Amino acid sequence: MAIISVATPLFCGRTRLPFRPLRHRFLWRLRAPVGPGEIRRIERWLATARVFLAISFLVAVWMDPGEIRYSPWAYWLLGIYIVHGVVIMLLLRIRHQSTASFRLLVHAADVVWPALISTFTTGQGNPFFLFFVFVLAAAAYRWGLWETVGTAAAAVCLLWGESLIFHTGFLEWADRLLLRRNLPLLQIDVGDFEPKRLFMRSAYLLVMGLLLGYLAEQQKQLRAEKAVIARILGKARVESGLTGTLQEIVGELLTMYGASYALVASQDTSSHHVYVGKVVSQAEASPVLHWLESSPSDHETYLYDCPAETVYVCPAKASSASTVVALDKTGARLRSISPTLLDSLAKQHQFQCVMAVSFIFGREWWGRIFFLDPSLTADLEEELRFLQELVRQVGPAVYNVYLLRRLRLRAGAVERARFARELHDGAVQSLIAVEMRVDVLRRQSVSQSGGVTDELGRIQGLLREEVLKLRELMQQMKSLDVDSRKLLRFLEDTVERFQRETGISARFVSEMIELNMPQPVCREIARIVQEALVNVRKHSGARQVLVRFSSADARWNLVIEDDGRGFPFSGRLSQAELEAMGKGPLVIKERIRLIEGELTIESNPGRGSRLEIRVPHKREAAYG
């Protein structure tokens, strides 16, 4: 599944996008910031290692003094180095944080100490060379490649500086000064600082610095990538739903790669519907996911068949050839990719470069994410492999959000259905039995006092009203499994049941035989009809109700009219006017807003009212 290079004419005449500088690879480290606590632990570990190293070599020198030519100055330097390490350990335990200047000062001292101590050692392979290894390892542990190489270069400069000083007669002057004061001589062998030997030692240091720095850089890059994946995994929340989770995750990737915008194309494997969303980052707000209008060519444009899973394409320009980097599922580079697969995408979206990755959510969903005009490093294959790994690790979390969301909705529906059954088998049946008993008493008391009969009639009316309220409550609590095939029949049954339970003449009229409506819209239409009929029973005092459903001008039209009291205003008001005046049924207005519909109410007090709901024909994903 890939994106392939497009012929140059497809991009002719387009406005050139602003240049985006490529990010250097070492900037990956900046994406995994190290906290003050972790920095302090690192410095304490290095301080402990520093003291241990110095004590170990002090013991080694005591066992074999020949390594330092029995020079007492070497013992003094090692002792001072131990004291230096202990002082740093104490400072780190006393101070609550380790500042950058403090770490830089300690590191500078670590570079100088090996250069001083090494002047008293003998031979090319003396063990004191490990002091240089320690300072290189400390630079790699603290920072990365370039800092470690810089440390090696600084150590080499110190060694060559010492060689220059020793060959200018400094040692003879220092020994004469020590003899006059009856102090031990330095006993430094200038032969160890000959250019040939020093060149080999310098080569060792530079190679060691490059090797340790490279390993540290790769480790920190891996750590940063794990931190990025963990941060993006944190965006997957059940409360946000599938659309909200995709919006957050794709928005994070959009910002990370510096793309102009992203496209999310997915397909439901059961219905084969293709949904396409556009994610655009905003300057001071969260990214927004907009679902686009469906098109018959969406599958050919976004979900074409291709063996590549991740791909980067920069089409040919006047000064350079096209760049195509495609990877299969195993991360291997693919060479032979057809250059015609991107034609449809290029006709609908303007871009200079594009990057895409495929994803799979269980057995229900699969698709691709397109990043238009991303800013990548020169190592395109590594960037694509990281994106591929990121999507593979984040994909199960997003799929879990989808499953948990469905499970939560179904669990809620099951619990509501259970509660409704308990109401029906318990409270409703008891109220009906009481009403029947009151009716019997009322009939028996006709020959008696009229006041008792009237009171029993009022009680019977109250009981009947409570039964109707409980039935309406149970109806609202039940989960609506309504789709386009069941909606018309459901509305007809709802109207018939309303007439049967209330005695109000009600009729349902549909101008359509078959319906192709997204399931979320079907549910809201059904709820709107139920709520409107409840309002008619409670407030209108109507004797007749008409519910009419039709479709025209790319809209579904629902009309509910009655001959009751009407609303407390006269005339015809749109939804905006109703909102401004604070009038109209609140629940119905909220449900209409969910499906992006329009409400118009025509009221004639004393003669009835008319509700008109118009819902545009849109794709199902827009109502997710």
460, 600: one domain: no
162, 140: one domain: yes
Cβ neighbors of 67 (< 8 A, separation 6 or more) are 60, 61, 121, 122, 126, 127, 128
- Give the domain-ending residue among 430, 456, 479: 479
Work out the average pLDDT over 370-395.
85
Contact 279, 262 (CB under 8 A): yes
In a domain, 499, yes or no: yes
Question: Which tokens is 109 given?
Answer: 């001292």
- Report how many domains make up the chain: 4
Closest CA relative to residue 137, chosen from 38, 40, 43, 46: 46
In a domain, 95, yes or no: yes
In a domain, 450, yes or no: yes
What does the pLDDT look like over 6-63, one tens digit per residue?
A: 333 333 333 333 333 334 433 444 455 666 777 888 888 888 888 887 787 777 767 7
In a domain, 382, yes or no: no
Question: Edge-to-edge, what's the strand order for the sheet holding 288-291?
Answer: 288-291, 274-280, 261-268, 365-372, 354-361, 310-314, 323-327, 333-334
- The residue segments making up the domain with residue 351 are 8-12+258-376
- How far CA 128 is from CA of 73, 121, 585, in Å, comes to 15, 7, 86
586, 561: one domain: yes
Q: Identify the pLDDT of residue 8.
A: 33
In a domain, 394, yes or no: no
555, 464: one domain: no
- The whole-chain average pLDDT of the chain stands at 77
Q: Identify the pLDDT of residue 622.
A: 47
Q: Identify the pLDDT of residue 558.
A: 93
Of residues 64 and 135, which shows the higher confidence score? 135
Task: Dump strand ranges (E) for 462-617.
Answer: 505-510, 544-552, 555-562, 571-574, 598-604, 608-616
Task: State the DSSP H helix or E strand holding residue 310, giving kind and residue range, or none if neither.
Answer: strand 310-314
Residue 508 binned pLDDT confidence (cut-offs 50, 70, 90): very high
496, 615: one domain: yes
Of residues 475 and 266, which shows the higher confidence score? 266
Tell me how far apart the alpha carbons of residues 345 and 311 are, in angstroms, rounded to a whole number.
14
What does the pLDDT look like over 241-260, one tens digit per residue?
A: 778 888 888 888 888 888 88
In a domain, 408, yes or no: yes
498, 542: one domain: yes
Report pTM.
0.59
What does the pLDDT look like over 315-326, one tens digit per residue?
A: 766 566 777 888
447, 432: one domain: yes
What does the pLDDT look like over 571-582, one tens digit per residue?
A: 888 888 888 888
201 has a pLDDT exceeding 90: no
513, 409: one domain: no
492, 470: one domain: no
545, 419: one domain: no
Range picked from 68-72, 441-445, 588-592, 619-623 for highest mean pLDDT: 588-592
CATH number at residue 529: 3.30.565.10
What does the pLDDT look like over 85-141, one tens digit per residue?
A: 888 888 888 877 778 888 888 888 888 888 777 776 655 445 667 788 888 888 888
In a domain, 321, yes or no: yes
In a domain, 486, yes or no: yes
Q: Identify the pLDDT of residue 189.
A: 65
Closest CA relative to residue 3, chosen from 275, 266, 292, 304: 304
453, 487: one domain: no
What does the pLDDT look like over 142-157, one tens digit per residue?
A: 888 888 899 889 988 8
- How far CA 139 is from CA of 34, 78, 83, in Å, comes to 15, 21, 21
Closest CA relative to residue 556, chosen from 584, 586, 524: 524
Q: Identify the pLDDT of residue 545.
A: 92
306, 351: one domain: yes
